[in-house]
């Protein structure tokens, strides 16, 4: 079995947004971002309403080319660099269970 090592760079802006929006410290952010990058839901696996929401975020943040949803958080990456993150709106959270 081969292990692939992935390095994720987290911007200071992303650390600040994680603290502001989710109350996460740097250690929690580091831990969760890696899980989100590896196991987060990709655009192609989302329900149509979630896809529309993610598409809207993509249009706002054109630099981002990799958007993942993990837990109830949307992570916006450019390649392997986390740019920012958002809490998923309450009305969309039930769609994650489908």
40 secondary structure, DSSP code: S
Domain boundaries, the chain: 9-97
51, 52, 98 from 18: Cα distances, Å = 22, 23, 26
Residues 14-68 pLDDT 10s: 999 999 999 999 999 999 999 999 999 998 888 899 999 988 887 776 678 889 9
Note the pTM of the prediction, 2 decimals: 0.88
């Amino acid at each position: 079995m081969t292990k692939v090592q992935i390095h994720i760079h987290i911007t200071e802006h992303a650390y600040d947004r994680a603290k502001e929006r989710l109350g996460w410290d740097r250690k929690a952010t580091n831990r969760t971002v890696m899980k989100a990058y590896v196991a987060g839901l990709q655009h192609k696996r989302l329900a149509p309403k979630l896809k529309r929401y993610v598409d809207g975020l993509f249009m706002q943040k054109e630099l981002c080319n990799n958007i993942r949803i993990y837990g109830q958080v949307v992570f916006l990456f450019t390649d392997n660099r986390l740019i920012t993150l958002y809490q998923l709106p309450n009305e969309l959270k039930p769609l994650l269970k489908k």
